Chain A
Amino acid sequence: MAGSDLYVGTLDLLILKALSWGPMHGYAIGRWIRQTTEDVLSVQEGALYPALHRIQRKGWLEEEWGMTDSGREAKYYRLTPAGRRHLRSEIVRWRAYATAVGAALDAVTA
């Protein structure tokens, strides 16, 4: 599947982060990831949807159908309280991870 060059869990984390601003539909989430990561994390856009459904199944997202500004019906995702808690702990974990890996890569002695 697409997204193979992403570190495990990165896509989930980005989705949760995207939704922390408020409910969004899938397309908007994808666009936000593209724009904020400046296309560095090049993902097959389709990979977003299985990830969304998986996270929803875990109970971190809720769906609700609504109208877009242009009057089209679309499926919106929203963070559940559990999802918000999970996002917070994932951010902490990711930072610790990135710091640790960064420190290792910066090391000057073997």
Chain B
Amino acid sequence: MRRLFRLTRPSTEVSRDLASELQFHLDMRTQELIESGLPPEAARDAALRAFGDLRAVEAECRGIARQRVRERERKANMVGIVQDVRYAWRTLRKTPGFTLVVVLTLALGIGANTAIFSMVRGVLLRPLPYADGQRLVFLQQPATRAGVQNTQFSVAELADYRAQSRALAGIVEYHSMPFILLGRGEPLRVQTGVVSANFFDLLGVRPLLGRGFRPGEDAPGAEPVLVLSYGFWRDRLGGDPGVVGRHFTMNDHVHTVIGVLPPIPQYPGANDVYMPSSACPFRSSETMVRTRVMRMLTLFGRLAPGVSSEQAQVELEGISGRLHAEYADAYPAGDGFGIRVTPLQAQLTAQARPTLLLLLGTALFVLLIACANVANLSLARLVRREREMALRAALGADRARIFRQLLAEGLLLSLAAAAAGLVFAAGGLGLLTAFAARMTPRAGEIALDGPVLGFALGLGLLTGLLFALLPALPSRASVVAALKDGGGSTGAGSHRLRSVLVVAQVAVSVVLLVGAGLMLRSVLALQGVDPGFNPEQVLAAKLDLNFSKYTTNEQFQQFHQRLRERLAAQPGVALVASSRGYPLDGRRSFAFDFEIEGHPLEPGRARPQADFRVASPDYFRALGIPLVTGRLFTDRDGLQTPSVAIINQSMARRYWLGQDPVGQRITADTGKTWTTIVGVVGDVRQYGLETDPVDEMYLPFDQIPLREGALVVRGSADPATLARRVKEEVLALDPEQPLAGARPLTEVRADALAPARLTATLLGMFAGLALVITAAGLAGLMAFSVSQRTQEIGVRMALGAARSEVMAMVLRHGLRLVVIGLVAGAAGALALSRAMSGLLYGVTPTDAPTFAATAAVLVSIAALACLIPARRASTVDPMVALRST
């Protein structure tokens, strides 16, 4: 009996087989009946009768058989996959070096991307944590010609927009001030959000405990109430569940706690407590309510259903146009007042967006380089494994099977890499969150959550696919054939592909190096910027006095004066000064309009404007701000003496170019009072090292009564001792007076550099990583090429080539790839570096030294990477090489 094997049986064959099986039965039965004496016709009928319902039997059998075939195929597939994975595992374990290098390379790439993506998601992609957060808008009142982005809004303006806007379903106000909270032992300086009663309703925030503000609670004379932030309630009040109904004293009024917020990020800023606008002594003061130009409110709105932010913009422009016509005094034509509606989400992330996108792009480039390297390694490995593949092909494995094998290996590697990458990302997350916190209030929302995990997994799967697909590419048509004849005919195609991969790696590395180089040059430029003051040995602290306790200017000035005297008497303290703020403190100064005596305002021109600061006499010496001309303040400049001012050089240049401003007079109240300029001091970069100094005017601390204050202390004692002394002296004078954040100015200056330095560091790390991976890829390619060309090299040497010539040949080959990559990369960098121009300082995106340095670094690293294989080539023994055919 001869047997025919049929290994596979598609389901169409099932029917054919079944038909012939049943036909066979009927034929045999008929034959049997004929042999027993029946005529053929009758025999046939009898056979059919004995069989029963032929159609039904056939249908039933076909159903069963098809099911069986399907089950068998499924099982075979399962077994195949398990086999593939098991085989892949064994293969990878046999080459631990390769496996480790691949997993680490990919893990770094995936880790970097996951970490950066978690930032991008937390800050840019995630919707605001408020009900329908995308309908919230931020309102700005720019005065473009006066150079002000947002003058903010006055109480009167809020009322007008509220009354007239239909496009916004609601408008809320916000400002934040420090107050002093009494009622639990030590006095606390609490940052207080002052908001309208509908604030939490409009944002869609429901309190965790108690309730939010009710309509009318922001009406003048309403009972003062407080809503606590979650953090304040938990950290300062121990999470007291019975806190609702408790009383605290603020600004001499008893405030009742009515609710606690849930633990959500707070926008636009983090506050300890919230109070309705009526409870804020400034916001509810007579002048603030009545004066249209007293602008201190930040406004948010919620778009009415079906209204876009663009439509709201159009409507508000109409309203503001009417207001400008009606109250011409409040909107000088020369200032160019306007109105702007921006989605809140865009507003909160505007500063962080360019940096985050740059980092994401960079991280993706690093991953690309890592993938190229891995593909390169696996190509080399594939060529080395040709014999194994040929054997498997000979044993009946088809192309799909071999591909599946590669895929299993790729996925195994890349999933391991994704897991390791997640560990890296988790490790770096704290650092990155702190980094993002300098640019956006949304930093607290950065987390390794589901979508981020999905992202990492997706990257892993993608790289795994790439790993399997790329090596299969050049030899796709010929893989089995080529492998079957056991030769190296796949070598040529894959070698070309590997060269292309290395060139691409070099090119991408160039782009990353240029980016990092530009950022580094920016940081160096920033570090070299003269901030206009000397931060060494200076301690600065904010000192906000209790508004209700220090009611008169005299009390306030006396406190500061006594504090200065007591501190100055301490050992190691040289100079003490009072002021409203200090450089780089992040506090926006007030700007005010003024007129110069003898220079009447031309109609239609913007009124002269300058930031104003207050300073006690020693302020300039303490901070090392140089006096250019005139005099500094003295203790005699007080409330009883004529009003005087010191201006900075920018202001002197703008209005008195080539003249002496000392002795000139200006007025801020259209001539009711006049202030005499007594001196000019150097410019100070108040708002950031990269921000040019603005026009500034200093007024004597004793002439401008402001409760928001700061203390600047220069001394040889170490900062911690200084800080302790300041705190002790403050408490000695007033045990209810808290002192916030005493810090060395050197630290403040370092902080101002931090975002640029961190960006540069991250870009540098990425570029370094890219360089190392690329160098490894290049070295690998060259080593492989040398090993493949051993015979050719042997022939050359046998024909008289010197070792140095062989070395030069290998080096030339490697460097040719590098130069091609370099040129392509430089072109790419020229095109891409413009995208980061907003992040650069003191350097153009096409900075020639950066490009030159990049080329030099790359070529030297590449030469180094080629050197080892080149040396090996030069030590080839011609005899051995020729014999090993």
**Distance from A51 Cβ to chain B, minimum over Cβ atoms (Å):** 10
Does any Cβ of B come within 8 Å of A46's Cβ? Answer: yes
Q: What residues on B are CB-neighbors of A27 within 8 Å? A: 24-25, 28-29
Does any Cβ of B come within 8 Å of A47's Cβ? Answer: yes
**Distance from B36 Cβ to chain A, minimum over Cβ atoms (Å):** 13
Which of B4, B52, B53 has the most CB atoms of chain A within a 10 A radius of its CB?
B52
A49, B21: Cβ atoms closer than 8 Å: yes
Complex interface: stretch among B60-68, B682-690, B787-795:
B60-68
A45, B52: Cβ atoms closer than 8 Å: yes
A50, B61: Cβ atoms closer than 8 Å: yes
Residues from 1 to 24 in B contacting A, C-beta threshold 8 Å? 1-6, 17, 20-22, 24
A46 and B57 contact, Cβ closer than 8 Å, known pairs A27-B29, A53-B68, A66-B4: yes
Does any Cβ of B come within 8 Å of A57's Cβ? Answer: yes
A49 and B57 contact, Cβ closer than 8 Å, known pairs A25-B24, A75-B17: yes
Q: What residues on A are CB-neighbors of B17 within 8 Å? A: 65, 75
Chain B, 22-63, contact with A by CB distance < 8 Å: what is the 0/1 string?
101100110010000000000000000011111011001100
**Distance from A70 Cβ to chain B, minimum over Cβ atoms (Å):** 9
A50, B50: Cβ atoms closer than 8 Å: no
Q: What residues on B are CB-neighbors of A88 within 8 Å? A: none
Which of B5, B22, B50, B54 has the most CB atoms of chain A within a 10 A radius of its CB?
B50
Q: What residues on A are CB-neighbors of B21 within 8 Å? A: 25-26, 49, 74-75
**Distance from A40 Cβ to chain B, minimum over Cβ atoms (Å):** 16
A44 and B52 contact, Cβ closer than 8 Å, known pairs A49-B61, A50-B61, A65-B6: yes
Does any Cβ of B come within 8 Å of A83's Cβ? Answer: no
A52's closest neighbor in chain B, by CB? B61
Q: What residues on A are CB-neighbors of B64 within 8 Å? A: 50, 53-54, 56-57
Q: What residues on B are CB-neighbors of A56 within 8 Å? A: 64-65, 68
Q: What residues on B are CB-neighbors of A2 within 8 Å? A: 52-53
B27's closest neighbor in chain A, by CB? A72
A26's closest neighbor in chain B, by CB? B25
Q: What residues on A are CB-neighbors of B3 within 8 Å? A: 64-66
Q: What residues on B are CB-neighbors of A110 within 8 Å? A: none
Q: What residues on A are CB-neighbors of B22 within 8 Å? A: 49
Partner of B25, one of A45, A54, A65, A66: A45
A53 and B4 contact, Cβ closer than 8 Å, known pairs A45-B51, A46-B54: no
Does any Cβ of B come within 8 Å of A105's Cβ? Answer: no
B32's closest neighbor in chain A, by CB? A31
A47, B52: Cβ atoms closer than 8 Å: yes
Q: What residues on B are CB-neighbors of A65 within 8 Å? A: 3-4, 6, 17
Q: What residues on A are CB-neighbors of B4 within 8 Å? A: 65-66
B65's closest neighbor in chain A, by CB? A53
Bound Cα distance from A30 to B25, whole angstroms: 9
**Distance from B467 Cβ to chain A, minimum over Cβ atoms (Å):** 38
A2's closest neighbor in chain B, by CB? B52
B47's closest neighbor in chain A, by CB? A45
A44, B51: Cβ atoms closer than 8 Å: yes
Q: What residues on B are CB-neighbors of A25 within 8 Å? A: 21, 24
**Distance from B177 Cβ to chain A, minimum over Cβ atoms (Å):** 81
Bound Cα distance from A49 to B53, whole angstroms: 12
Does any Cβ of B come within 8 Å of A73's Cβ? Answer: yes
Does any Cβ of B come within 8 Å of A1's Cβ? Answer: yes
Does any Cβ of B come within 8 Å of A67's Cβ? Answer: yes
**Distance from A38 Cβ to chain B, minimum over Cβ atoms (Å):** 16
**Distance from B462 Cβ to chain A, minimum over Cβ atoms (Å):** 40
**Distance from A22 Cβ to chain B, minimum over Cβ atoms (Å):** 10
Which of A27, A49, A65, A66 has the most CB atoms of chain B within a 10 A radius of its CB?
A49
Interface size of A as a range:
20 to 34
A50, B60: Cβ atoms closer than 8 Å: yes
Bound Cα distance from A45 to B29, whole angstroms: 10
**Distance from B565 Cβ to chain A, minimum over Cβ atoms (Å):** 101
**Distance from A21 Cβ to chain B, minimum over Cβ atoms (Å):** 15
Q: What residues on A are CB-neighbors of B718 within 8 Å? A: none
Does any Cβ of A come within 8 Å of B554's Cβ? Answer: no
Q: What residues on B are CB-neighbors of A73 within 8 Å? A: 20
Which of A45, A47, A72 has the most CB atoms of chain B within a 10 A radius of its CB?
A45
Q: What residues on A are CB-neighbors of B68 within 8 Å? A: 53, 56-57
Q: What residues on B are CB-neighbors of A52 within 8 Å? A: 61
Does any Cβ of A come within 8 Å of B593's Cβ? Answer: no
**Distance from B19 Cβ to chain A, minimum over Cβ atoms (Å):** 11
A72 and B1 contact, Cβ closer than 8 Å, known pairs A1-B56, A53-B61: no
A50 and B57 contact, Cβ closer than 8 Å, known pairs A26-B25, A27-B24: yes
Chain B, 765-779, contact with A by CB distance < 8 Å: what is the 0/1 string?
000000000000000
Bound Cα distance from A65 to B18, whole angstroms: 12
Bound Cα distance from A17 to B54, whole angstroms: 25
Chain A, 62-90, contact with B by CB distance < 8 Å: what is the 0/1 string?
00111100001111000000000000000
A57, B51: Cβ atoms closer than 8 Å: no
Bound Cα distance from A1 to B64, whole angstroms: 15
Does any Cβ of A come within 8 Å of B71's Cβ? Answer: yes
A59's closest neighbor in chain B, by CB? B68
Partner of B2, one of A47, A67, A72, A75: A67
Chain B, 733-760, contact with A by CB distance < 8 Å: what is the 0/1 string?
0000000000000000000000000000
Residues from 55 to 92 in B contacting A, C-beta threshold 8 Å? 56-57, 60-61, 64-65, 67-68, 71
A66, B1: Cβ atoms closer than 8 Å: yes
A44, B25: Cβ atoms closer than 8 Å: no
**Distance from A72 Cβ to chain B, minimum over Cβ atoms (Å):** 7
**Distance from A3 Cβ to chain B, minimum over Cβ atoms (Å):** 9
A57 and B60 contact, Cβ closer than 8 Å, known pairs A27-B29, A45-B52, A46-B54: no
Bound Cα distance from A31 to B29, whole angstroms: 9
Q: What residues on A are CB-neighbors of B50 within 8 Å? A: 44-45
Q: What residues on A are CB-neighbors of B2 within 8 Å? A: 66-67
Which of A45, A53, A65, A75 has the most CB atoms of chain B within a 10 A radius of its CB?
A53
Bound Cα distance from A43 to B245, whole angstroms: 91
Bound Cα distance from A25 to B25, whole angstroms: 9
Bound Cα distance from A30 to B26, whole angstroms: 12
**Distance from A8 Cβ to chain B, minimum over Cβ atoms (Å):** 17
**Distance from B529 Cβ to chain A, minimum over Cβ atoms (Å):** 82
**Distance from A58 Cβ to chain B, minimum over Cβ atoms (Å):** 9
Q: What residues on A are CB-neighbors of B61 within 8 Å? A: 49-50, 52-53
Q: What residues on A are CB-neighbors of B24 within 8 Å? A: 25-27, 72, 74-75
**Distance from A98 Cβ to chain B, minimum over Cβ atoms (Å):** 27
Q: What residues on B are CB-neighbors of A75 within 8 Å? A: 17, 20-21, 24
Residues from 22 to 45 in A contacting B, C-beta threshold 8 Å? 25-27, 30-31, 44-45
B17's closest neighbor in chain A, by CB? A75
**Distance from A100 Cβ to chain B, minimum over Cβ atoms (Å):** 32
Chain B, 405-446, contact with A by CB distance < 8 Å: what is the 0/1 string?
000000000000000000000000000000000000000000
Q: What residues on A are CB-neighbors of B29 within 8 Å? A: 27, 45
B69's closest neighbor in chain A, by CB? A57
Q: What residues on A are CB-neighbors of B5 within 8 Å? A: 64
A46, B53: Cβ atoms closer than 8 Å: yes
**Distance from B201 Cβ to chain A, minimum over Cβ atoms (Å):** 67
Chain B, 348-389, contact with A by CB distance < 8 Å: what is the 0/1 string?
000000000000000000000000000000000000000000
Q: What residues on B are CB-neighbors of A47 within 8 Å? A: 52, 57
Q: What 9 pairs across the A-B complex have the smallest Cβ distances?
A: A44-B52, A46-B52, A46-B57, A53-B64, A57-B68, A27-B28, A50-B60, A46-B51, A27-B25
Binding site for B on A (CB under 8 A): 1-2, 25-27, 30-31, 44-47, 49-50, 52-54, 56-57, 64-67, 72-75
Q: List 18 A-B contacts (CB under 8 A).
A: A26-B24, A26-B25, A27-B28, A27-B29, A30-B25, A45-B50, A46-B52, A46-B53, A46-B56, A49-B21, A49-B22, A49-B61, A50-B60, A56-B65, A56-B68, A57-B64, A57-B67, A66-B1
Q: A25-B24, A27-B24, A49-B60 are in contact. List 4 more A-B contacts (CB 8 A).
A: A44-B50, A53-B64, A57-B68, A72-B24
Binding site for A on B (CB under 8 A): 1-6, 17, 20-22, 24-25, 28-29, 32, 50-54, 56-57, 60-61, 64-65, 67-68, 71
